[in-house]
Structure 1
Amino acid sequence: MVAAHAVTWEVLESRGYETAWVEFAGGSLRARGRAVGAVPEPYWISYELETGEGFVTRRLVVTSETETSTRTLDLRRDDAGRWTADGEPMPGVEGALDCDLGLCPLTNTMPVLRHDLHRAPGEQEFLMAWVSVPGLVVRPSQQTYTHLGRTDGGGHVRFSSGEFRSDLEFDADGCVVDYPGLATRLR
């Protein structure tokens, strides 16, 4: 069974908005989204995200447009855990299971769903292939997700990376409802 729906966030950090059309099928998801922001500079992005079983990233394709440039990124993870960006090997992110598109609340979904952290106790550390917006530069990012408690259907999860931390609210599907300081869901 495939459950599909549109999700829209006000992205506070970029002073913009994002809408993603998300399809959940068993232990995987497919999504396509668009975002517009004014910070760090005015930009538009569009992306397509595909995961395999266990919500493990297979591919993220992103196009970013600013006043002065248009960039594209085709980020892929193979079954052996090797990553490529536009066909070139990505050192430093080998073994990472997830991508993390900067300023995009949707990419917090995969690790939370894989470990059911919006519903059940636990703490998990991850290496992510983090993608900057609007520059589309890929870097390794160590992140920790910790279950804090249940809500009506979803839950609260603490996200931390380095000195940064924020307590996120997720719905029953594992999508971000509130990411204080970054994004708030509108629909």
Structure 2
Amino acid sequence: MTTSRAVTWDVMASHGYETAWVVFDGQTLRARGRAVGTDPEPYWVSYELDTGDGYVTRQLRVTTETPEVTRTLELRHDGRGGWTADGEPLPEVHGALDCDLGLCPLTNTMPVLRHGLHRAAGEREFLMAWVSVPDLAVRPSVQTYTHLGGADGGGRVRYASGDFRSDLDLDADGLVVDYPELATRLTPR
């Protein structure tokens, strides 16, 4: 069954906003999003994200614009653990299943959905292909997601990476409702 959602977040970490159009189709996700931020400098971001079965990232296309420069990135996953950035191999993120676009609450969704962590007990550690914004550098990031409880079909999941920890509130679709220190979803009027 295919469902579509439009979500907007107040992204406190960048002093900006993000809106994404998300399509769920079975065990896949497609999204288009745009964000504007002012920290670390004024920037715009537009992205397209496609996953394969099991919500495994297949491709992330990103464009960032600052007053001085426009950057683009095409990040691809071959489905077997290999990654490329603009066609160049990224051996440092080999084995990762997901991308994580910096300051983007949407990209927390894939590992949560794959393992049902917003609905059921469990803890999982992931290697992610983390993309910083606005420079679009790709780096490995080890992240842990831990189920803390459920409510109204959604749940609470602890995100941890290095010394950073935050307890995320997620809806029934695994989308972030509240990510303390990063973003809070705005509700339509």
1:153 positional shift: 1.6
- Please name the residue that 1:25 is paired with: 25
C-alpha separation in 1, matches of 2:158 and 2:79: 29
What amino acid is the match of 1:111? Answer: P
Tell me the residue number matched to 1:179: 179
Q: Per-residue deviation at 1:82?
A: 0.4
Q: Which residue of 1 aligns with 2:97?
A: 97
State the 1:14 CA deviation.
0.2
Deviation per residue, 1:72-115 (Å, 9 max, x gap): 00000002210000000012100100000000000000000000
Residue in structure 2 matched with residue 130 of structure 1 by the alignment? 130
Does residue 1:6 correspond to 2:39, yes or no? no
Instruction: Provide the C-alpha distance between the structure 1 equivalents of 2:5 and 2:173, rounded to a whole number of angstroms.
Output: 10
- Deviation digits for residues 106-151 of structure 1 (CA, Å, limit 9, x no counterpart): 0000000000000000000000000000000000000000000001
Give me the TM-score of the superposition, normalised by structure 1: 0.99
What is the alpha-carbon distance in structure 1 between the residues aligned to residue 13 and residue 164 of structure 2? 14
Distance 1:180 1:79 in 2: 32
In 2, Cα distance between equivalents of 1:23 and 1:152: 21
Query: Aligned Cα RMSD in Å?
Result: 0.5
Gaps of 5+ in 2: none
Please give the alpha-carbon distance, in whole angstroms, between the structure 2 residues aligned to 1:80 and 1:5: 29
State the one-letter code of the partner of 2:122.
Answer: G
Query: Match for residue 77 of structure 1?
Result: 77
1:9 aligned partner, one-letter code: W
The aligned counterpart of 1:108 is 108
3-state SS of 1:181 partner: coil
Instruction: Please give the alpha-carbon distance, in whole angstroms, between the structure 1 residues aligned to 2:31 and 2:133.
Output: 18
SS at match of 2:18: strand
Show structure 1 runs of 4+ deviating over 2 A: none
Alignment partner, residue 62 of structure 2: 62
Shift in Å, 1:5: 1.2
What residue number does 1:139 align with?
139
Matched residue pairs, number?
187
Provide the TM-score with structure 2 as the length reference.
0.98
Residues of 2 paired with 1:5 and 1:83: CA distance?
28
What is the Cα deviation at residue 152 of structure 1? 1.3
Q: The residue matched to 2:109 in structure 1 has which SS? A: helix
Q: Secondary structure at the match of 1:160?
A: strand
The residue type equivalent to 2:80 in the other structure is: A
Q: Structure 2: how far apart are the matches of 1:27 and 1:169?
A: 21
Identity, in percent, stands at 74
